Structure 1
C-alpha cells in the first residue's frame, strides 16, 4: 500500500470509465489543457497584499543583503517580499515623496484653522495665542515635509562600520523641544545584538567613526 496521497487529477481519472485508450488520451489532454488555463489565469491576476506583519533585516555578513518583509494577502495567503538594495531605495524614495506631500498638506490645513474675528479684550488675546500655536504647528509640519537636512543621519538608511561590529539603522529624526537639536532614533547593532538607540549631531562624523552606508543609500 502506497503512502503517497493521490492527486486531484489521479482521483478524477479513477472515477471515469473510459471506453477506449483513444478516449482516455483525449480526456487527459483536455484535462491538462484546462489546468494550464487555470494556472495562467491565476498567474496573470495581481496578488493584493493588505497587511504587513514584520520585517527581518539581513545579516551584516551577507554579501547581497535582502530585506525580508512578511505580509498577508487579501485571501489570507502568506507573502514574503525580498527587497534588494535597489528595491529598497525605490521604495524609500516613493514613501519619502508621499510623506513630504502629506506633511505639506497638513501644514496648509493647520494654517486654515486660524481665526481672525473682530474682537477685543480677553477673547482677542486668546485668539492671538491660538493663532501663534497654530503657526508653530504649521511650521513644524512644513519642516518635516522638507525632509532631514544633509549632513545628518537620514531616516531609512543603515550606517555600518567596515569591520561589521557596529551598525545603526535610522528610523526617524526628531528635534529637541527646547533647543531644536536634531536627534536620530533607531536601532543600533553592537556586541552581537540590536537595541533601541539615539544619536545626536556630536555623533555625526563619518571620518571619526569610520562609517559607511549600505549601497542602497546612495553611498554618502
Structure 2
C-alpha cells in the first residue's frame, strides 16, 4: 500500500525515470539493429554455398571467386557439404560447409590472388547440437603482418554471426582450439579497396569480433517500443505535459 501511494503521489518523477529507461532501451536496440544491417557493404559478396546442389567432399572448394582449403590428413573428406533437410545442418533452409576433422586449419583466399576484406562469418558446431567451442582466426595482410581473434560459440542451435570488418587481407585462416569440428555459412567478403599491413603486426592488430544475434536485438527493440507506448498511456492518464 505504501508503494502504491508513493507512486500515485509522484507521477511526474516516476514518468521521468521510466522515460529515461525506455529511451535507453530503444536507442540501444536501434543501434544494435542498425549496426547489424549496415555492417555489410553494398558491393559485398555473400558466400552462402547455395550453388552447390550435389553432394561434395574434398579438401578444397571454390565458391563465388574464393577458395576454401582444409589441411586435414584425409584430403577426400576434409570438407563436407550439408544439404537442406540434413538434421545436422545449422541452416534449415539452405546449404552449408562443414569441417569433418577437428583441429584442422581452413584457409580462405581469393582465387585470383588479390586482396579482400572480411566482413563476417556465420559459425556453428559440426552437428548443430549445443556444442560450445572456441575458434582462432588469423588474417594476413596483403602488405605484411597479421591480425588475430579468438571467438566463442555459444551452446545453441543454429548459426551465430561474427562481425570482423578486417580489410586488405591476402588470406584468413581459422582453426578450432576447443570443441570438435565446425560448419559455416554466409561468409561476407569484398574485393579490397584498401592496402593494409606492415605496421599491423601480430599482437598489435588484434580486434574484437562482434557476435550479433538477431532474436535478442529484436526483443530489445520490442521492449523499447512497448515502453514508449506505455509512457504515452501513463502520460495521458496522469495529465503530464
**Under a length normalisation based on structure 1, what TM-score does the superposition of the two structures give?**
0.24
Select the structure that is richer in strand: 2
TM-score under structure 2 length normalisation: 0.23
More helix by share: 1
Give the structure with higher Rg (CA).
1
Q: Which has the higher contact order (CA 8 A, sep 6+)?
A: 2
